[in-house]
Structure formats: C-alpha cells, structure tokens
C-alpha cells in the first residue's frame, strides 16, 4: 500500500489539536478502500449523518486509497461498533479493499496527532486481510513482542469479537473460519496459541488439533478448545490429544482472558527453565 500523503494529516490537524487541547475523547477509523469519488464520499456523509447524534469528519486520501473518519465524543467501544457498520456499508457498495484500523483518544495514546501518524504508518506496513478490523495499540508496539493467537471458528461474529477483545489485551490475532484455513494460517503464522471450535467445516477441530500436534513446527504451541460441545467424551478426547484447556460456550470473556494469560505464563516459565 502506498504511504498516505500529508494531506490526510493536514485535513484533520485542526480537529486533532482541538481534541488534545480540550482532552476531548474521539474515535478514529482508517479503511483501505477502492477508489472513492467525491460523490461516493458525500453519499456516505449523508447516509451516516441521518443518525443525527453522530458528528464525524470524513476524508479520503486519493494517493493511498485510505478513508479516514473522526468521530467526536466517542470511546473505543462505540468506534468499534461504528467500524462494523462502515465495513458493511462499503462491502455492499464494493468499496472495501483492505483492512480497517481503529483507535480512540485518550484510550490508545496521549496525543491524537501522534496516534494518527502511527496508525497511518502501521497501515502502510500491514498485510491484514480484507475487512479485518484491528485495534491500534501504541503501547503494545513499544512493549515486548506480542504473543500470537489463532482463532478458528466458523462463526464470523465470534471471530470478530475475540479479535477485538484480545487485541485490546495486547495479543496479535489471526483468524480462520474452517479447519483447512486454520491449518494454513497455523503454518503461515506459527502462533503461540490456537483457540478452536470442534464443530468446523471441511476439516473438524479434532483433525486440526491432530495436525498441529504432529507438525512439530511449534513445540510449545498451546491449544484451547472453545466450543458448545459439553459431553464428557469430547472433553476427555480433547485433553487426551494434548489440548491445554477446554471452555464451553457461552463463555465469560474475562474468564477466557485469565485462562489465556495463564497458558502464556506456562510458556514463559518453560522458556526460563
């Protein structure tokens, strides 16, 4: 992707400076899109302007094909919600071409101007999939290397929720919607943890677990099952195959985060021995 021109920063400079001076919260959404005309942009403004209470600024950078949206007085949770709506809007009009990166001030950094600059730099380097929504985490970039997680689930909603939730916790996320894609993503990214459903299309969860365990490519890779299968035989079979944890849906996100953290602590402790 072509690096965004300075025009984008200049277009939002007044608003970003205003937010910072007044310590006003805001959300920002950056989207890789197909070429948008002025008419496309105006139609989008009118469409979302009908919501009344939503006050936002829109800018499309023709050099990098990045659509930028600033949302006044909104925190990260609403920014994520609105990014899903923007994603659907662009997909319906065949305008979505790549990733979506979101952030908020002050939740994701101390300076709105710096957040925008770092987000644009991150987008120019990233190779995320079309439509993937990621949270920009400036502090995580400065910290130690991120633990990586591959989520394999045929429910897109579950994948998107876990992606956003776990990225907020500082993890690097990959996702797949079936067992075959899960194996391909595993080989490509070599994650530290795989969270998989057992009921998967093409290749089921048991086959996926078996392939990962027999690959030998990531000896310390942990596997967690997240499924609606609650029979004792499924639980026993999973642990016999080498699974590290088993969580039954519906699940508590907070409990999931604690158990993931515990698994990574086990990996770190083993590495220090």
**DSSP labels, 158-196:** HHHHHHHHHHHTT-EEEEESSHHHHHHHHHHH--SEEEE
Distance CA 85, CA 79 (A): 10
pLDDT for residue 270:
58
Give the residue from 202, 171, 184, 200 showing the smallest Cα distance to 264.
Answer: 171
Extract the tokens encoding 162: 């876990």
Place of tokens 């795989």: 194
Is residue 268 over pLDDT 80?
Answer: no
26: CB partners within 8 A, 6+ apart: 15, 19, 70, 71, 72, 73, 74, 104, 105, 112
More confident site: 126 or 49: 49
pLDDT for residue 50:
72
**Dihedral sign from CA coordinates of 51, 52, 53, 59:** positive
Extract the tokens encoding 98: 């790549």
The answer to pTM > 0.85 is: no
Extract the tokens encoding 179: 């067992």
Q: Could you give the 3-state DSSP secondary structure of residue 242?
A: coil
| Mean per-residue pLDDT over the chain, rounded | 86
Extract the tokens encoding 1: 């992707």
Give residue 273's pLDDT band: very low, low, confident or very high (50, 70, 90). very low
Give the least confident one: 43-47, 102-106, 136-140, 243-247. Answer: 136-140
Q: What is the mean pLDDT of residues 204-227?
A: 90
Give residue 119's pLDDT band: very low, low, confident or very high (50, 70, 90). confident
Give residue 120's pLDDT band: very low, low, confident or very high (50, 70, 90). confident
Is residue 141 over pLDDT 60?
Answer: no
Give residue 245's pLDDT band: very low, low, confident or very high (50, 70, 90). very high
Extract the tokens encoding 86: 């923007």
Sheet holding 172-176, edge to edge: 172-176, 148-152, 193-196, 222-227, 245-248
Place of tokens 């080989």: 187
pLDDT for residue 92:
95
Distance CA 162, CA 151 (A): 8
Give the residue from 201, 242, 205 showing the smallest Cα distance to 226.
Answer: 205
pLDDT for residue 19:
77
The conformation of residue 128, written as its DSSP 8-state character, comes to P
Is residue 142 over pLDDT 60?
Answer: no
The conformation of residue 31, written as its DSSP 8-state character, comes to E
Give residue 5's pLDDT band: very low, low, confident or very high (50, 70, 90). low
Contact 69, 63 (CB under 8 A): no
Is residue 4 over pLDDT 70?
Answer: no
Distance CA 5, CA 42 (A): 21
The torsion angles phi and psi of 105, rounded to 5 degrees, stand at -115, 130
* pLDDT tens digits, 46-57: 888 876 557 889
* pLDDT tens digits, 149-203: 999 999 988 998 898 888 877 788 999 999 999 999 999 999 999 999 999 999 9
Extract the tokens encoding 263: 């698994």
Give the residue from 42, 74, 81, 41 showing the smallest Cα distance to 55.
Answer: 74
Range with the largest mean pLDDT of 70-84, 101-115, 138-152: 70-84
Give the least confident one: 65-69, 123-127, 161-165, 166-170. Answer: 123-127
Is residue 68 over pLDDT 90?
Answer: yes
Give the residue from 188, 184, 140, 142 showing the smallest Cα distance to 166.
Answer: 140
């Amino acid at each position: 992707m072509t690096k965004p021109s300075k025009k984008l920063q200049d277009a939002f400079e007044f608003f970003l400076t205003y937010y910072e001076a007044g310590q006003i919260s805001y959300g920002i959404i950056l989207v890789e899109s197909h070429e948008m005309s002025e008419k496309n942009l105006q139609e989008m403004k009118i469409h979302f302007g009908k919501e009344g209470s939503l006050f936002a600024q829109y800018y499309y950078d023709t050099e990098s094909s990045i659509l930028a949206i600033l949302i006044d007085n909104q925190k990260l949770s609403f920014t994520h919600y609105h990014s899903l709506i923007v994603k659907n809007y662009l997909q319906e009009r065949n305008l979505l071409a790549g990733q979506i990166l979101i952030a908020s001030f002050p939740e994701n950094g101390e300076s709105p101007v710096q957040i925008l600059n770092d987000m644009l730099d991150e987008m120019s380097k990233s190779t995320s999939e079309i439509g993937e929504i990621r949270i920009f985490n400036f502090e995580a970039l400065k910290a130690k290397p991120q633990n990586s997680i591959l989520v394999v689930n045929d429910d897109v909603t579950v994948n998107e929720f876990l992606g956003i939730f776990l990225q907020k916790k500082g993890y690097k996320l990959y996702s797949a919607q079936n067992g075959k894609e899960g194996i391909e993503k595993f080989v490509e990214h070599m994650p530290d943890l795989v969270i998989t459903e057992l009921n998967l299309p093409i290749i089921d969860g048991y086959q996926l677990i078996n392939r990962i365990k027999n690959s030998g490519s990531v000896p310390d890779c942990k596997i967690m099952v997240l499924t609606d299968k609650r029979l004792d035989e499924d639980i026993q079979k999973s642990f016999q195959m080498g699974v590290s944890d088993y969580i039954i849906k519906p699940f508590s996100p907070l409990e999931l985060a604690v158990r993931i953290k515990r698994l990574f602590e086990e990996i770190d402790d083993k590495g220090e021995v």
